[in-house]
Amino acid sequence: MSKNLVIVESPAKAETIKKYLGKDYEVKSSYGHIRDLPRKKLSIDIENGFKPQYETTSDKKKVVTDLRKAAKDKTVWLASDEDREGEAIAWHLCQALKIDPKTTNRIVFHEITEPAIKNAIKKPRVINEELVEAQQARRILDRIVGYQLSPVLWKKIRPGLSAGRVQSVAVRLIVEREREIQAYTPASSFKVSAEFNTVKQPAEQLRAELKTKLDSKAEVLDLLKKLTSADFHVTSVEQKPSNRNPAAPFTTSSLQQEAARKLGFSVRQTMTVAQRLYESGLITYMRTDSTTLSKTAIDATSAYITSQFGKEYYTLRQYKTKQSSAQEAHEAIRPTDVKTTSAGKDEQQQKLYSLIWKRTVASQMSPARTDKTNVSIKPDQHDDIVFVAKGEVLRFDGFLKVYGGIREDVNLPDVSVGDALDRQTVSAEEAFSKPPARYSEASLVKKLEDLGIGRPSTYAPTISTIQARGYVEKADIEGISRKHQLIELVDDSIKESEESREYGSDKSKLLPTSVALVTTDFLMKHFSYIVDYEFTANAEARFDEVAAGKLDWVKMLDEFYETFAPLVEKSESVSKKDSMQAKKIGVDPANGKTIYARFGRYGPMLQRGETEDDEKPDFAPMPEGKDIETVTFDEAMEMFKLPRIVGQTEDGQDIKANIGRFGPYIQVDKTYVAIKPRDPMKITIEESRKLYAEKLQQIKDRKIQAFANGIEIIKGPYGPYVTNGKKNVRIPKNVEPKDITEKQAQEMIDKAPTRKKRYKKKK
């Protein structure tokens, strides 16, 4: 019988560790956190030092019972991850198992390998109370923000919204970037390039670009006229060596960014796959902001590089971490065994492992060396006009041998200063400046990291949360067609032409929804303290101080709450109209009523008239693809033409076209038919009749039986059911719907409980 019990967070980690410990050790999993703050209430005694009221979560009660039995008469070893979250898990285990955190063995390791596990057993410590307090401070602060600020959003904007110290700042970043893009006016310029032939035999081609861009068509025409009869010579040839160094080993953030760029992984996908690799003992701990490698790892990588590629490919490097954090593990993400070049249980794991392996090995390899050549070309009599041809040739691949990214050599003809060149063509192509790029998941992580907001463990859940809450959508951006001018000098004549090109298309970008725009504006106006970038970054630094034992966690929370609580109290007096911040977009010339774009119960909408007037305002849906900030007056006026009478059915009933909360539709009496992607303003009577007929056939096909008393048996999406229009009763799987009699159907309806009516809460 084993004398020791080792407790880890996950079953996969337990399975790996079991292989390295003998029969004297039993290894069990806590399946993550076993205690937490209850969901239904704040559960923090703010008046008494922010005392948290933890409880064992319902799904972990059996786990705790089993662990208590397993721990009886055994030495307990707590082996959760070495970060604040892992330290808190270990502390909560002590509370639940009723063992002393000041004497219980706490072991930590950065990789799940036999040497690391056995070395940890030899050097146990006790739970670090300061790390626990830092985690607890973060949990409590975020709970207070979430539980006291979210209800404000429910009252003032829309039920079901949430706010968070990091998530609301992430949404603000995305909203502000979108507004930058919408306000951006593209500027036009011309890039000028020229084709030359050397006069040596055989002639070789040389392509060069004008050193500066031109701002207007007039400048282009003036340049081409000067070049029409000009002779060209080489005025300088500059050759210089260049080095390209490898990047540092992966941190959590850089791994997420590179996996997105090279593998197309989402942030959450990257962390899930990395977790599996770590638990299998293949890589070191994957939540870290450190770029350093241990001496053992450096020595192993050195030996591998020199044996596989030769000494000239090895260069010792030790990277410095940009910012220190008491929370995270103290080594970069790397393979536990550099000699294992490929690993993983599935294709995703194999791809991510390969990326980590290559980045680690490349970080200790020599730089790639290239020779760069710049050739300057000028027309005679015009010293201010300079064309430059650039060439680059790889002389030594260095780290690129492993990490890839070798570009094709650009070889230039062998020319010397003074050589004459034969001008073939000069082309000026119009280009437009681009607005700031929308955030992808990976670039948002980088921005949050640059601002010091959040920590490696928070990026993936933050990005998932803002999408799940409806603040942000991940979408592909359709480009717009824009005409580009092309002006060419061919022989001695100038030719002009135009061609259309797509501009602004993009993939998998984070776009703010209308509710994000309204919520961000509300928070900026009434809770700027919470969504302030500096406050959020400073909070992380304060958590670090708590973790380092330099700051009392209760004092930190006191300072925060003294500012936060009055803001919540003050927000009660904000009117709902003020919080919605309706945007005036024009006045209806027919009746003088103001047109507003505003946020309603089900999303963005249009309003004509004032809510305070005796006459109720008119409402219309927002046009497809538009929001409060982008809809124009003309587009809004078109929407007030809805609902539109398309025509009549063959039996004379009106067919109305409109847009609802779920998209465009047509309506005949009480029958609704979705028509997306058709436009309700353009759908024809023929299309409408066809879609309506198809809908009637669907309804008919769903009807299994119909009785004289009005009861029907319907084929529903979740199985057949009996209905009288007010009650729906599911039919058991062992009952054939076709065999049910009218009497049986009536009995089923009679026995079914009546659904309680929902009453609106009086204000």
Residue 757 has pLDDT above 70, yes or no: no
Q: Which amino acid is at 746?
A: Q
Query: Percentage of the chain with pLDDT > 70?
Result: 97
Q: What is residue 763's predicted lDDT score, i.e. its pLDDT? A: 39
3-state secondary structure of 449: helix
Q: What is residue 327's predicted lDDT score, i.e. its pLDDT? A: 40
Q: What is residue 644's predicted lDDT score, i.e. its pLDDT? A: 92
CB 46 within 8 A of CB 561: yes
Entry pTM:
0.83
Task: Say which residue, 210 or 650, is predicted with more confidence.
Answer: 210
First-last CA distance in the chain: 66
Q: Transcribe 164-203 into DSSP letters.
A: -TTHHHHHHHHHHHHHHHHH----EEEEEEEEEEESSSS-
**Whole-angstrom Cα distance, residue 50 to residue 35?**
17
- For residue range 297-310, what is the model confidence (pLDDT) as tens digits? 999 999 999 999 99
Tokens of 715: 């084929």
Is residue 259 classed exposed, middle or buried when 0-12, 13-18 and 19+ CB atoms within 10 A define those classes? buried
Tokens of 752: 């079914």
**Whole-angstrom Cα distance, residue 427 to residue 528?**
51
Partner residues linked to 656 by β-bridges: 645, 667
Give the Cα-Cα-Cα angle 107, 295, 246 (nearest 5 degrees): 120
Q: Among the options 54, 278, 285, 459, which is catalytic?
A: 285
Q: Read off the pLDDT of each residue in 94-112 and give the average, rounded to a whole number.
A: 95
- For residue range 120-131, what is the model confidence (pLDDT) as tens digits? 999 999 999 999
- For residue range 494-532, what is the model confidence (pLDDT) as tens digits? 999 999 988 888 899 999 998 999 999 999 999 998 999
Task: Name the phi and psi angles at 166, rounded to 5.
Answer: -95, -40
CB 101 within 8 A of CB 94: yes
Tokens of 633: 């007056």
Q: Transcribe 240-276 into DSSP letters.
A: EEEEEPPPPPB-HHHHHHHHHHHH---HHHHHHHHHH
Q: What is residue 756's predicted lDDT score, i.e. its pLDDT? A: 63
Peptide bond into 643 cis (omega under 30): yes
Q: Read off the pLDDT of each residue in 166-191 and give the average, rounded to a whole number.
A: 95
What is the pLDDT of the chain when averaged over all its residues?
92
Residues 6+ positions from 742 with CB-CB distance below 8 Å: 707, 708, 709, 711
Tell me which of 46-60, 194-208, 380-394, 611-625 is least confident: 611-625
Name the one residue in this structure whose structure tokens are 């970054």.
537
CB 310 within 8 A of CB 396: no
Residue 45 has pLDDT above 80, yes or no: yes
Cα torsion through 588, 593, 595, 598, rounded to 10:
-160
Residue 672 has pLDDT above 90, yes or no: yes
Closest CA to 451 of 559, 580, 358, 322: 322
**Whole-angstrom Cα distance, residue 503 to residue 509?**
15
Q: What is residue 485's predicted lDDT score, i.e. its pLDDT? A: 96
Task: Name the phi and psi angles at 278, rounded to 5.
Answer: -65, -45
CB 220 within 8 A of CB 228: no
Q: Which amino acid is at 68?
A: R
Q: Transcribe 593-635 into DSSP letters.
A: PEEEEEEETTEEEEEES-TTSSSPPEEEEPPTT--TTT--HHH
Q: How many Cβ atoms sit within 10 Å of the Cβ of residue 670?
A: 5
3-state secondary structure of 19: coil
Q: How many Cβ atoms sit within 10 Å of the Cβ of residue 648?
A: 14
Q: How many Cβ atoms sit within 10 Å of the Cβ of residue 185?
A: 7
Partner residues linked to 671 by β-bridges: 668
Q: Transcribe 637-667 into DSSP letters.
A: HHHTT-SEEEEE-TTS-EEEEEEETTEEEEE
Task: Supply the Cα-derived Rg of the chain in whole angstroms.
Answer: 34
Residues 6+ positions from 231 with CB-CB distance below 8 Å: 379, 380, 420
Q: What is residue 335's predicted lDDT score, i.e. its pLDDT? A: 97
**Whole-angstrom Cα distance, residue 142 to residue 42?**
11
3-state secondary structure of 146: helix
Partner residues linked to 6 by β-bridges: 27, 77
Q: What is residue 543's predicted lDDT score, i.e. its pLDDT? A: 94
Residue 325 has pLDDT above 70, yes or no: no
Tell me which of 125-134, 199-208, 231-240 is least confident: 199-208
Peptide bond into 677 cis (omega under 30): yes
Tell me which of 166-180, 463-477, 624-638 is least confident: 624-638
Using the CB atoms, write b or e for 553-583: b if 16+ within 10 Å.
bbebbeebbeebeebbeebeeeeeeebbebe
Q: What is residue 323's predicted lDDT score, i.e. its pLDDT? A: 56
Tokens of 118: 């056995």
Per the annotation, the verdict on 561 as an active-site residue is no
Domains and CATH numbers, the chain: 4-127 (3.40.50.140), 188-245+368-432 (2.70.20.10), 252-362 (1.10.290.10), 582-639 (no CATH), 644-703 (no CATH), 707-751 (no CATH)
Q: What is residue 322's predicted lDDT score, i.e. its pLDDT? A: 64
Tokens of 592: 């003088």
**Whole-angstrom Cα distance, residue 73 to residue 304?**
46
Q: How many Cβ atoms sit within 10 Å of the Cβ of residue 754?
A: 7
Q: What is residue 601's predicted lDDT score, i.e. its pLDDT? A: 74
Residue 10 has pLDDT above 60, yes or no: yes
Task: Give me the sign of the Cα torsion angle 734, 735, 736, 737.
Answer: negative
3-state secondary structure of 461: helix
- For residue range 446-463, what is the model confidence (pLDDT) as tens digits? 999 999 998 888 899 999
Give the Cα-Cα-Cα angle 579, 580, 585 (nearest 5 degrees): 135
Residue 566 has pLDDT above 90, yes or no: yes
Task: Name the phi and psi angles at 558, rounded to 5.
Answer: -60, -45
Q: How many Cβ atoms sit within 10 Å of the Cβ of residue 489?
A: 23
Confidence of residue 612 (pLDDT cuts 50, 70, 90): confident
Q: What is residue 758's predicted lDDT score, i.e. its pLDDT? A: 52
What count of Cα atoms within 13 Å lies in the side-chain half-sphere of residue 134? 27
Task: Say which residue, 472 or 676, is predicted with more confidence.
Answer: 472
Tokens of 759: 């009453």
CB 245 within 8 A of CB 366: no
Task: Name the phi and psi angles at 684, rounded to 5.
Answer: -90, 165
Tokens of 190: 């011309």
Partner residues linked to 426 by β-bridges: 194, 489
Tokens of 394: 């790889």
